[in-house]
Amino acid sequence: MALEHAILVSLAEKASSGYELARRFDKSIGQFWTATHQQVYKVLGRMEAAGWVAVTVVEQDGRPDKKVYDLTDAGRAELADWIAQPAAPEVARSELAVKIRGASYGDPVAVADEVERHRTLHAERLDAYLANEKHEFPDPSRLRGRRLHQWLVLRGGIALERSMTDWYDDVLAALRPSKRGPKPRPDKAKP
């Protein structure tokens, strides 16, 4: 399990409330680990009970109070310990891939439409990541430590989205042989 530890990493970067954590899982760290706010609240409760995090209630102006969580020494120790442990190999899961494989037992045209929709989603994510990279890491060659690691993970997300988008293009070209050639895509070349 790693949601606990993904949260530890996120809190190590910045103390936050459950709500903020859940939002952050929509981007940056959420590239490779996601969670809904319910799951985050549940796990934060467990982590507090385990003494990995400490809470401070912060009153806000014109907004509900929030509970800001920060790492304790025990939490930092747990994080360092977990990082030293071997990681489970990734397991890819794609419902759409299963549908592509089974396309001939259903409506191949509907599958092609769905592939196109996903292609668009991934192309948008790719653009968002690239824009983020340009903005946050304008000069990658100088990066060291924490910032370097963040950039490397962002590069991983970019590589993944690019390869998904390319693959969907290939699938579309094969499933719709009438429409020749992929659509023009200016962001296809590596920067």
Partner DNA sequence: AGTTGCACTGCAACTAGTTGCATAGGTAGC
Partner DNA sequence: GCTACCTATGCAACTAGTTGCAGTGCAACT
Binding site for DNA (CB under 7 A): 1-3, 17-20, 34-39, 41-45, 60, 62-67, 91
**6 vs 100 by CB, closer to DNA:** 6
64 interacts with, out of DNA, a copy of itself, none, CB within 5 to 8 A per kind: DNA
**51 vs 106 by CB, closer to a copy of itself:** 106
Q: Following DSSP, what letter does each residue of 71-95 receive, concatenated?
A: E-HHHHHHHHHHHHSPPPPP----H
Binding site for a copy of itself (CB under 8 A): 2, 5-6, 8-9, 12, 29, 31-34, 76, 79-84, 86-107, 110-111, 114, 117-118, 121, 145-146, 148-150, 152-153, 155-157, 159-160, 162-164, 166-167, 170-171, 174-175
Q: What are phi and psi of 86, to 5 degrees?
A: -65, 145
Both tokens assigned to 60:
């806000």
137 interacts with, out of a copy of itself, DNA, none, CB within 5 to 8 A per kind: none
Percentages helix, strand, coil for the chain (3-state, rounded to 5) are 65, 5, 30
92 interacts with, out of DNA, a copy of itself, none, CB within 5 to 8 A per kind: a copy of itself
Q: Which helix (H) or strand (E) holds 111?
A: helix 108-136
The backbone region for 145, taken as left when phi is positive above 0, alpha when psi lies in -120 to 50, beta otherwise, is left
100 interacts with, out of DNA, a copy of itself, none, CB within 5 to 8 A per kind: a copy of itself
Q: Following DSSP, what letter does each residue of 142-170 receive, concatenated?
A: G--HHHHHHHHHHHHHHHHHHHHHHHHHH
Q: Is the dihedral of CA 149, 154, 158, 163 positive or negative?
A: positive
**66 vs 155 by CB, closer to DNA:** 66
Among the listed residues 190, 171, 103, 191, the one whose alpha carbon sits nearest the alpha carbon of residue 182: 171
**58 vs 146 by CB, closer to a copy of itself:** 146
Nearest approach in angstroms of CB 49 to a copy of itself is: 22
Nearest approach in angstroms of CB 88 to DNA is: 8
**36 vs 56 by CB, closer to a copy of itself:** 36
Q: Could you give the CA distance from residue 27 to residue 7 in angstroms, rounded to a whole number?
A: 13
